[in-house]
Structure 1
């Protein structure tokens, strides 16, 4: 009795018609798909590794996909509905710096120290930006590349100083679990004075970072890979 009542409620209002040998319904039907897991979000590669090693939610074979320098996903094989369980997703937490944006010297100085790994070119730029004395930025040469600015070069000495260009820097652009890729940037200044950095490697650093992420995960999950429990792609 109950079964018949439920079937009646499910089919209530559903009318079918036969037209030229084809059956048509007045109600669209949707197949109920198998439920899938929603990814747990972590913010480091080590957090992703710890989750995978714990086997907290599953003991099945998993794939880890290095999607980008800032995102890594871990998921299962396809189920009968051709969907996947997404178990964990790592997203890098990055400092706020905009390439191609013009900053005043004080803000640019702070950004260089807080958003970039220390190296020789970063220190050169800090020395110049921190000692600018006038608002005039001069372009020298006919190639549009070289620049000079008026800056302090000693206790009481002020003279034209050449701006280094291009510069090799290591901004924080990927997970802190791995070394930050070094790449070339165009360092420009203009009246104000204002400072800006422009990326100049065509995005090659992204491939380097993704390769380093894959290598890190392979080292940390070597046993699971050898046991056939984990597959890592980038």
Structure 2
């Protein structure tokens, strides 16, 4: 314990000492680590949630910027406005745009009713989405164990009337368009694997698993870049990258 305290005391004393600088063959060496003092003041980044806000901010010319600016599409959910390198070879982030996207638990089984509501509120309606709604919305509790699943299609008993019953078939994968990027651009369509199961405690549960290897992200980022390039076409000092 005493040795540890002495070691820390010696180390603290060394940190307070003036560094010794030695020059050898045109190179200056120091026996202590030196830190540059950053005298350039940088603003905190503005936080935004839409691409429209970013475009309006740029066009307003409210803040002074460098001769060249970079608009970086970081991900389908994030865009940053960045200055060019300053004299210290550093950049300033003037704005950060983060999309407000409804959450959905991909790859996790959720309750039957919650799944149906999510399909209606968090996805753009297309043919496959309507097919899933028909399938998931009419399957009877207690019949999921009877459905057939060959890895490509699923079949289950559904209600077709007050007394009659029929069968519905859902192909896999299904093509869906969830809200996953900024509302100003088209939501990319991608493949999902749909699964349903009967849980002893929770009843019917549904899940969709992403099946495109994340290719939708490239599509979304390309759309964001094209949107910003069009909106900023009259501002050649702003370069959009992704």
Alignment gaps of 5+ in structure 1: 1-12
SS at match of 1:149: strand
Q: Distance in 2 between matches of 1:130 and 1:29?
A: 66
Residue of structure 2 in register with 1:35 after alignment? 41
Give CA deviations for 1:37-89 in whole Å, capped at 9, x if unaligned. 32111000001101111111124321101111101111111112221111111
Residue of structure 2 in register with 1:4 after alignment? none
Q: Distance in 1 between matches of 2:23 and 2:101?
A: 62
SS at match of 2:184: coil
Instruction: Give 1:156 deviation, angstroms.
Output: 3.3
Of 47, 53, 76, the match for 2:83: 76
Of 58, 68, 74, the match for 2:64: 58
Q: How does 1:64-143 map to 2 (within 5 A)?
A: 64-137=71-144, 138=146, 140=148, 143=150
Instruction: Give 1:146 deviation, angstroms.
Output: 2.4
Query: Which runs of structure 1 show a deviation greater than 6 angstroms over 4 or more consecutive aligned residues?
Result: 18-23
Of 190, 215, 239, the match for 1:231: 239
Q: Distance in 1 between matches of 2:43 and 2:81?
A: 11
Instruction: Give 1:16 deviation, angstroms.
Output: 5.2
- Closer, same or farther in 2 for the Cα pair 1:20/1:99, shift >3 Å? closer
Question: Residue 151 of structure 2 contacts residue 172 of structure 2 at CA under 8 Å; is this kept in 1?
Answer: no
Question: Residue 188 of structure 1 contacts residue 195 of structure 1 at CA under 8 Å; is this kept in 2?
Answer: yes
Alignment gaps of 5+ in structure 2: 1-15
Instruction: Give 1:152 deviation, angstroms.
Output: 1.1
TM-score (norm 1): 0.84
Q: Aligned residue pairs: how many?
A: 217
